[in-house]
Amino acid sequence: MSTERVDVLIIGAGASGAAVAWSLAETRMKILCLEQGDWMNPAEYPTTGMDWETRSQGEFHISPNVRGRDTDYPINEDDSPIKVANFNAVGGSTILYAAHYPRFHPSDFRVRTLDGVADDWPIDYETLAPWYAENDRMTGVAGLAGDPAYPDKEVPLPPVPLGKPGETLARGFNARGWHWWPSDSAIATVPFDGRDQCINLGHCVSGCSRGAKGSADITYWPHAIRSGVELRTRCRVREITVDRKGMASGVIYHDGQGKVQQLEAEVVILACNGIGTPRILLNSKSPLFPDGLANHSGLVGRNLMFHPYAWVQGVFPDRLEGYKGPGGCSIWSQEFYETGQDRDFVRGYTMEMTRGRGPVTTALGGMMSGQIPWGKGHHQAFREVFDKTAGMVVICEDLPEAHNRVTLDPDLVDSDGIPAPKIDYTLSENSLRMLAHGVARGEEVLRAAGATDVVSQSPLTLAGWHNMGTARMGKDPDRSVVNEWGRSHEVKNLFIVDGSIFVTSAGVNPTCTIQALALYIADAMKKRLANLFD
Amino acid sequence: MTEMVVTDGVFSAEQKKQLAGLAEIMIPPADGMPGAGAKEIFTVICQRLRDHQEVVTAGLESLTGLDVEMAAREPAFREQPFLQLIQQVVVSSYYENAAVQVALGLEGRPPYPDGYELEPTDWRLLEPVRRREKLYRKV
């Protein structure tokens, strides 16, 4: 076992690891990032071939359990109605994300004060606003300024074109008198920072062959590496080690050949998302930390939040060319985002419009639901729906509940023999009511837009993209894992920068906030370099 | 069935005949569209089922002597795991075929590298929303 030493060790090269690495690079410290996945090659993404739909259901499947790459780790999700979606590579899950890039609202940081539920964050929107802005500039966010659902903000790039599906649904929202706005999208709609502009390939969620989508491997990482950060792939961390004073001393990891390596570090930063981060902490047991590292509060792994999703789709009379344009990014509506006194739930949701489905997905979905038969009538039934559907997902705020949690599975291990995570999760009554409300409003707007044959699914099973809350931030060490600038309350040289530090989930996709938080924490570290561990 | 089938070393000629028949029960030639048993498509189906030889062989045996077209009217029959597998492969092989896509009004090519053009958006659509008060709660 060889031992080397770095100043800063970052575990995970996804959205947050990339952002924190880039920001800390200016310190000229020796920074190393260990990533269990590979660099991805856009030339190998599915949209380069005719079989793009098949490949997106195989090696590019959003479920690590289905995909089963040797860079993935398995997850026991038998006791969760929502299954985890992620990707393990440089860029992490941004490789497969839809690139939806909404910010939180100011109210999202004050849910206890405003609505009497969950907890307030120890920071507020104003604190994060400059880091949101910097992150938008680094990522290249497309959108349109002036959204009345948000405080004023600049948007660096022009919005993605709506196409026929987006315009059709926008008319439906106008007919209802409801809010809608072009989505903030991490998509280069014009050439940006060495990236080509989007050419509407459609299937962003199996990787962008064009390189227009702002996945972290092509936004932050090239800059971080040019600034001196070292990124090492195929390195899977088993545990964080500690010294006799209870400080993190480094990590033990498995390299690409499966050899166990040890590495010493002055500072350790976890950036492994709301599942991977508690997994490593819980795997890092020692006499000083018998319940897992930084787990004095017992909150490591608890308060897991997904975003419960529903899906609503309608069939329209004419073809919509929905295969053209970013599949997940078009328009959104936040008409029901803020808590409404006339509703039977607190907090709210965003409706995010989706474009069409490919022919394979249309046919399989129709055949499994019985809408498209075998044999005589197959072609006619297919033509009645293909390229004529548009719809939306309803993305609901999930509130933290201690019983929703990540633990270590007693039996399941990854290919290196490291205990795998187990998810226990139950949908709350509040979420179920919110989903039902969202589906009903979705049906209304689709019909107002001219749809017939409206169908829905709620909750969506394979929609656990957003894993949050499992090492939450706060000022009270008994009620949180890290402080208001991401440092562990107990282990003064251990930081967490991913979605696990979220106090609440808001009702929007979290990547933009995850990265803004990572930049904010990096800035807090830089300002305190002389007394970082005090 | 539009083509004669022969053994390819994985499936016997008889199995391939059965498979082709099954593929065309699922997606027959009709309405100006080819069937899933068409040679170019069926070749891909067989290639994709190679890794599932045991399951397919056992499944096909279970169909021997059965009027599959009649049986397939029952959802429970179609939901058998082996038939779900074959359905998945037949459908993906069929609808990923360039000629099929052209017949559907698509361009019969992968999305990349050419991509697609989209009309510029008429942002006058947003006028009613622009006139609204701020929606977010101030804190």
Partner residue opposite B121 with nearest CB, options A148, A161, A335:
A161
CB contact under 8 A, A374 and B92: no
Residue B15 has pLDDT above 90, yes or no: yes
ipTM computed for the complex: 0.93
> pTM above the 0.90 mark?
yes
**Interface test mutation site (partner A, options B43, B68, B125, max chain A beta carbons within 10 A):** B125
A-chain residue closest to B98, CA distance: A50
What is the pLDDT averaged over residues A12-16?
Answer: 98
CB contact under 8 A, B72 and A374: yes
CB contact under 8 A, B139 and A380: no
Q: Which two tokens stand for residue A157?
A: 């790039």
What is the pLDDT averaged over residues A311-339?
Answer: 96
Distance CA(A339)–CA(A319), nearest Å, equals 37
Residue B29 has pLDDT above 70, yes or no: yes
Question: How far B106 CA lies from chain A's nearest CA (Å)?
Answer: 9
Question: How far A49 CA lies from chain B's nearest CA (Å)?
Answer: 5
List chain B residues with CB under 8 Å of A321: 116
Q: What is the pLDDT of chain A when averaged over all its residues?
A: 97
Partner residue opposite B91 with nearest CB, options A124, A364, A386:
A364
pLDDT in tens, A97-145: 999 999 999 999 999 999 999 999 999 999 999 999 999 999 999 999 9
pLDDT in tens, A21-78: 999 999 999 999 999 999 999 999 999 999 999 999 999 999 999 999 999 999 999 9
Distance CA(A338)–CA(A349), nearest Å, equals 8
Distance CA(A414)–CA(A289), nearest Å, equals 23
What is the pLDDT averaged over residues A169-197?
Answer: 98
Distance CA(A524)–CA(A20), nearest Å, equals 11
List chain A residues with CB under 8 Å of B69: 375
User: Hunting for tokens 């001393």 — which residue is that?
Assistant: A249
Which pLDDT does position A3 carry in this prediction?
Answer: 77
The neighbour count for residue A148, using CB atoms within 10 Å, is 15
- Give yes or no for a cis peptide into A459 (omega within 30° of 0): yes
Which pLDDT does position A255 carry in this prediction?
Answer: 96
Question: What is A83-146 written as a DSSP string?
Answer: -B----BTTGGGGTS--B-PPPPGGGG-HHHHHSSS---SS-HHHHHHHHHHHHHHHT-B--TT
User: Higher model confidence: residue B135 or residue A2?
Assistant: B135
Which pLDDT does position B3 carry in this prediction?
Answer: 47
What residues contact A375, with CB distance under 8 A and at least 6 apart?
Answer: B25, B26, B28, B69, B72
Which pLDDT does position B2 carry in this prediction?
Answer: 45
What is the pLDDT averaged over residues A314-333?
Answer: 96
List chain B residues with CB under 8 Å of A169: none
CB contact under 8 A, B28 and A375: yes
Q: How confident is the model at residue B31 (pLDDT cuts 50, 70, 90)?
A: confident
Distance CA(A23)–CA(A99), nearest Å, equals 21
Distance CA(A402)–CA(A405), nearest Å, equals 7
Task: Name residue A264's beta-bridge partners.
Answer: A5, A250
CB contact under 8 A, A338 and B135: yes
Q: Could you tell me if A161 and B119 are in contact, meaning their C-beta atoms sit under 8 angstroms apart?
A: yes
List chain A residues with CB under 8 Å of B112: 45, 47-48, 201, 209-210
Which pLDDT does position A174 carry in this prediction?
Answer: 98
B-chain residue closest to A159, CA distance: B121
Query: How buried is residue B73: exposed, middle or buried, by Cβ count under 10 Å (0-12/13-18/19+)?
Result: exposed
Which 3-state string (H, E, C) describes A304-352?
CECCCEEEEEEECCCCCCCCCCCCCCCEEECCCCCCCCCCCCCCCEEEE
What is the pLDDT averaged over residues A444-465?
Answer: 96
Partner residue opposite A379 with nearest CB, options B30, B123, B126:
B30
Partner residue opposite A53 with nearest CB, options B92, B126, B139:
B92
**Interface test mutation site (partner A, options B44, B112, B127, max chain A beta carbons within 10 A):** B112
Distance CA(A487)–CA(A524), nearest Å, equals 10
CB contact under 8 A, A124 and B139: yes
Q: Which two tokens stand for residue B58?
A: 């056992």
Question: How far B9 CA lies from chain A's nearest CA (Å)?
Answer: 24
β pairing state of A31-34 and A230-232:
parallel
Q: What is the pLDDT of chain B when averaged over all its residues?
A: 92
What residues contact B74, with CB distance under 8 A and at least 6 apart?
Answer: none
β pairing state of A349-354 and A260-270:
unpaired
CB contact under 8 A, B96 and A51: yes
Which pLDDT does position B77 carry in this prediction?
Answer: 92
Question: How far B13 CA lies from chain A's nearest CA (Å)?
Answer: 23
Question: How far B90 CA lies from chain A's nearest CA (Å)?
Answer: 10
Note the helical H segments in A409-450.
429-448
Which pLDDT does position A276 carry in this prediction?
Answer: 98
User: Hunting for tokens 């037949």 — which residue is that?
Assistant: B90
Angle at CA of residue B103, ends B102 and B104, nearest 5° = 85
pLDDT in tens, B101-128: 999 999 999 999 999 999 999 999 999 9
Distance CA(A144)–CA(A312), nearest Å, equals 25
Share of chain B above pLDDT 70, in %: 94
Q: Could you tell me if B2 and B38 are in contact, meaning their C-beta atoms sit under 8 angstroms apart?
A: yes
Q: Could you tell me if A166 and A449 are in contact, meaning their C-beta atoms sit under 8 angstroms apart?
A: no
CB contact under 8 A, B104 and A386: yes
Q: Could you tell me if A513 and A136 are in contact, meaning their C-beta atoms sit under 8 angstroms apart?
A: no
CB contact under 8 A, B118 and A325: yes
CB contact under 8 A, A105 and B136: yes
Partner residue opposite A49 with nearest CB, options B87, B110, B123:
B110
Which pLDDT does position B9 carry in this prediction?
Answer: 73
Helix, strand or coil for residue A213?
strand
Own/partner pairs for A291-295, CB < 8 Å, 24+ apart?
A293/A240, A293/A242, A293/A248, A293/A488, A293/A491, A293/A494, A294/A471, A294/A481, A294/A482, A294/A488, A294/A489, A294/A490, A294/A491, A294/A494, A295/A481
Which 3-state string (H, E, C) describes A371-405?
CCCCCCCHHHHHHHHCCCEEEEEEEECCCCCCCCE
CB contact under 8 A, B136 and A203: no
Helix, strand or coil for residue A249?
strand
List chain A residues with CB under 8 Å of B94: 363
Which pLDDT does position B1 carry in this prediction?
Answer: 45
What residues contact A44, with CB distance under 8 A and at least 6 apart?
Answer: none
Distance CA(B72)–CA(B66), nearest Å, equals 10
Residue A426 has pLDDT above 60, yes or no: yes
Task: Name residue A252's beta-bridge partners.
Answer: A239, A262
A-chain residue closest to B126, CA distance: A181
Distance CA(A166)–CA(A144), nearest Å, equals 15
CB contact under 8 A, B138 and A210: no
List chain B residues with CB under 8 Å of A202: 111, 116
User: Hunting for tokens 């599942």 — which residue is that?
Assistant: A275
CB contact under 8 A, B91 and A363: yes
Share of chain A above pLDDT 90, in %: 98
Q: How confident is the model at residue A1 (pLDDT cuts 50, 70, 90)?
A: low
Q: Could you tell me if A122 and A482 are in contact, meaning their C-beta atoms sit under 8 angstroms apart?
A: no
Interface size between A and B, measured as CB pairs under 8 A: 166
What is the pLDDT averaged over residues A373-378?
Answer: 94
Lowest mean pLDDT among A256-270, A439-453, A471-485, B67-81: B67-81
